Structure formats: C-alpha cells, structure tokens
Chain A
Amino acid sequence: MVRDEAGRLAPGIALAGIATAALAVAWLSVTSGAYPLSLSDILSVIVRPAEADHVARMVLVDVRLPRFLLGFLVGAVLAVSGAILQGLFRNPLADPGLIGVSAGASLAAIGVIVLGGTWLGRWVAFAGEWALPIAAFIGGSGTVFLAWRIARRAGETSVATLLLAGIAINAIAGAGTGLLTFYSSDEELRSLTFWTMGSLGHASWDDLMVAGPWLVLALVASPFLARPLDAFLLGEQVVGHLGYRTDWIKRAAILVAGLGVGAAVAVSGLIGFVGLVVPHLVRQVLGASHRTLLPLSALLGGTLLVGADCLARVIVAPAELPIGLMMSLIGGPFFLALLLKRRII
C-alpha cells in the first residue's frame, strides 16, 4: 500500500525513498571531489588498510568521511530543531534563523574567535578546544530562551511577538557581529567569514569529537518530545489538560533545539533554510504528527545538506562554494515555489 487512508504516502515508502537518497548522496560525498575515489579504492582502504594507496586512505579517512558524517549530522539536527521549534511555537515559520538562534550562536562563536586572545582569554584558557562550541551552544540556547520569554505573556506565547523579537535579536546579534568584524584582524576575518556563510570544508575528526556528541544527543532526545509536541499543535493549554508538565516540555524542547543548533553552528557556521524547508516537505507528504516528522526530517535534512555539499564542491571545482550560500540558493527558490503553489501549511 503506497498511500494510507488519508491520502498520504505510507511512512515506510517515504523512509525507503529517503534512505535510498541518503545512501546515494553518501556515495557521492565520499567518492567525488578533487581526488575522485573508486569503489575499489574504498574497498582496499577498508579491507587491506596497510596495502592501500596512502593518498586514497588519507582522502577517505581524514577528509571525506568526517565531512560526510558532520554534514549529515548537522543537516539532520538543523531539520529536527526546525521541526521542534515549529511545533513548540505552533508556527510553521519558526526557523532557528528567524528567531535568532543561529545569529546568537554565531555571535558567541565569533566573539570567541575575535576576543579569544583578549577579553575572553580566560574562558578560552579554561575551556580549551571546547571554548567555541560551548560558547555557540550558550549563545544559541540563550537566544531561543530570550525570544521565548519576550513572546510569553500571561501564560500564552504570542507568535507575532516571537517573530518580531527574533528580528530584533537578529539585528542586535548582527550589530555585535559587525562590531567584532570591525575590530578583527585579517586572519580572524577569514575564520569569521566561515561562520557567516557556513562551510563543511574544515570538517575533521576533531570537529566531530567536539560537536558530534551534542548533535547525536539532540537527535536521540528528539523522539521523546514527539508526543507532547503533537499536543502542542492543539495549543499550550491543551498540553496541560492532557497531563503533560507544559513548562518542563517547553524547557526540554528549547534545550534540545538550542543544544543542537548551537553545536551545529559551532562546527559549520550559519546554514539556513534546512530547518524551514525540510519539516515542511515532510509534513506535506506524511502529515504533521511528530512521530514520523522528527525522524524523517532528520534523515531528509542530513541527505539534503550532504547533497548540497556535493554540489557546492563540484560547481566551482577545484574551489568550493560555502554550503550556507548553497542552501540559500537552493532553498530560497524552492520555498518560493511552495508559496506560489499555495502548499504552505
């Protein structure tokens, strides 16, 4: 049975489809690039690592594999965080970017880059290589919390206020980023550009060690929010009537989204549109229930980001486009097309 009684694609079919696409982009991501790898190269690296071509092994293990894994995790987490925030705020437009989470996370990250040697020197000395991702995490979850507090009046979260607060927070974080850019050295400026345009180009096993656990934690925690988030679609009051501890769930959801997006921004910079477009697509095809929405958004988000990363590497080879730029290039027109077809919501 391809479609269920509600005329939706059966989740199993969708899962099989996305999983196939995920495998395809995984293959593309690992094999294509400035140094193409063939199946036999990869097999020899896996089966007889000692005899394998040294360069092939290095490209596969040190460059392509961490890049694929990080890209997939970041895409998955951005999509899941988007879905969580949209459910929490009952608004399909609540993207981490729109409510200022990404801007807050990247402001904190850029703060560590630029002020790491001066004002934040003690923090960097204290936290070491964790200084940047932890700062990005605090910046990310702090801004979600701020936007949420501002939008909350008399027990109700006002969606209009939330988006307006998001605009203001984006502006403030943008000003902060601008100020830091103004005071940065040339070298800092280069790493800074990396944040604002987003890139997986520097992905390494170190990045994965630092951000991976947080990303995986966010993904693993998200299914526990599925049922209460479904209840949130009926309104905050109803969540309480159904016996959930509304405040705990809100905090948990904000923590998971802030943690995930913070960690994602820490290793890949600003990547927009994944959190907005992917949950939309999944809802169109499979409906709004978070039990299917969250896992399939994760899978599709990872696939989409890795796919976009492959494109970004190929289009202007041997150079590569920043992935954030690539996503906006793909996501913007795609979203407009959805809008014109009036299939939003």
Chain B
Amino acid sequence: MSLTASEVSVKLGTHAVVRDVSLQVAEGELVILLGPNGAGKSTLLSALAGERAVASGQVAMAGRALADWLPADLARHRAVMPQRVDVNFPLTVAEVLKLGRPPEPSERSAPILEDLLQRLDIRHLRYRRVPGLSGGEQQRVQLARVLAQVWDSPGPVVLLLDECTSALDPSHQQQVFGLLKRLSRERGFAILAVAHDLNLAARHGDRLVLLREGQTYSDDRPEQVLTAHALKEVYGLSSRIMMLPEGYPMVVPSDGPHGDYQTAPSKPVCRQAS
C-alpha cells in the first residue's frame, strides 16, 4: 500500500471532525474522496498530508509512518495541492512552476516544466503574472507545480489533491482527470483526490470513498458507492442513477437537498431543467 490510514481521528478543538477513518490508496490507483460540505474531507486530507496532527490512528506512506520521513524525502515522493493557494505577489506562471522543483540546473527542469505547461494547457500563460489569472487558470498552474514536484521521482509517488478541478470548465476538468488517470495507470502514482462532481468521480475514480459526518459511509467501486439510497442518506439528494454502456454510473439529481421544489432556487430555467 502506498498510502495507508488506519483508524484516523482528527479533532478541531474538542470536536472530532474525522472519526476512525481507515483508508488505503495503492500504487496505480485513483481514489476519489466524496462527501457533503463539512463532512471532513479536507481535514482528513490535511491529516494524511501530515499538516494536521491526528488525535488517534496512524498514517503511513510506503510502509513508513509519516513522522519517520525526512521532510525533503517526503517532498520527493509526495505532493499536496491545497484547496486554495492565494498568490498576492507578482510571480509569473513559470516562476511558480519552478518552485515545485528542487534547486537544479535549468537544463534539467526545462523539459519537465515544458511538458507540464503543455499538458495543463497553460503554455500560453507562462510569462503572465499569477495574481492576474482567472481562478481556473490559477488552479491549473498550482496543479502543474504540484506535479512538477514529483514528475521525475525515482520511487513511489503519492498525490493528495483537494478539489483540484473545482474552478475548471468541463473540458479542462476532463482533461485534468484524464491526466491523473494516465499518471496512475502508466506511472503508478497513488492519487487521492477530493471532489464534488459525482459524475466526474464516477467516470474517473477507481474507487470512491464517501464520507458522512467524519466517518466512512462507503468505500468501493463507483457503481457500488453511487446508489440513489446512499446519495439520499449522505447528501439528502434525490437522484436517478443510470448505468452507462461505458461501464460507469451517471448521477442525475432530481431535486434539492430537502426534497421539495419550493426551497430550490425559483428561477424558471431551473424548474424546467429539473
């Protein structure tokens, strides 16, 4: 197992935000962490990243407890993308990407950065200043920096991504998850990604972990996790699940969280659409 969490609990103050969650992400696996707002996804991810102390339980990477890794070694094998990275200073895209790399001659970093600029479709932005970019562009820049950090890592790689496509348009969302999937297949990256888009998760996740109130509600293949019953219980969302011929489920929400149209936004367009 590349990343293993066993019975992890995390407390914020006295409140246990994550309770006894066990989770594994194997080499070559893309696991997507789902759950409603406040279910503890980001808190769990930050505990797995070693940013936040666990109240109880164990987090290990490649069989070694997180605390036993030297920070520099850890950074060679694991990269983390936080939910938000605000850049207030006039750094260019190329400079931010370079921050992901260790000190090295530019002959070594240049091809890697070039490759990533291309793959994340930010090549045309490379000399622009990051604070002036749109939210989605900034997100792609940060993801490129995160990938640059482990791109040529010699050993196992773990990626922890917190809503890495939340600001992206649908086409870039597909592009990014397609890339993540290829990285897990071809290069054996172990990837844990927090997401909100159920269909994106269903389409790309090898396994989905659904959190509810800080506990694992289910942890299985997409078609097992994404059931109308589970979505009703966890999100309070009524939905129909359709199995697509491609072999993965598609979620079609049918009404709002409280199950009545009156509390949903009352724009006419919404009514027709639902």
Q: Which residues of A contact B (CB under 8 A)?
A: 4-7, 87, 90-92, 155, 227, 230-231, 233-235, 237-238, 240-245, 283-284, 287-289, 345
Contacts and interface: CB of A to CB of B under 8 A. Distances in A.
B60 interface: no
Contact of A283 (B73, B90, B92, B95): B90
Q: Looking at chain A's contact residues, is the secondary structure mostly helix, strand, loop, or mixed? A: loop
Contacts of A244: 71
A227 B103 contact: yes
A156 B129 CA distance: 25
- Max chain B C-beta neighbours (<10 A), residue from A230, A244, A283, A284: A230
B91 A287 contact: yes
Contacts of B71: 240, 243-245
Interface stretch (B2-10, B80-88, B179-187, B204-212): B80-88
A237 B86 CA distance: 12
B76 interface: yes
A345 B72 contact: no
Contacts of A283: 89-90
A288 B89 contact: yes
Given A227-B103, A235-B82, A237-B82, A242 B91 contact: no
Contact of A233 (B50, B89, B94, B103): B89
Interface of B: 46, 49-52, 71-76, 79-80, 82, 85-92, 94-96, 99-100, 102-103, 126-129, 131, 142, 145, 149
A87 B87 CA distance: 11
B115 to A, nearest CB: 19
Contacts of A240: 50-51, 71
A248 to B, nearest CB: 10
- Max chain A C-beta neighbours (<10 A), residue from B79, B95, B142: B95
- Max chain B C-beta neighbours (<10 A), residue from A5, A241, A283, A288: A241
Given A155-B51, A231-B99, A234-B99, A242 B149 contact: yes
B235 to A, nearest CB: 28
Contacts of B99: 230-231, 234, 242
Given A234-B85, A242-B99, A7 B127 contact: yes
A341 to B, nearest CB: 15
Contacts of A155: 51-52
B74 A243 contact: yes
B82 A238 contact: yes
Nearest to A291: B95
Given A230-B99, A241-B149, 6 more contacts: A5-B126, A155-B52, A241-B82, A243-B72, A287-B95, A288-B89
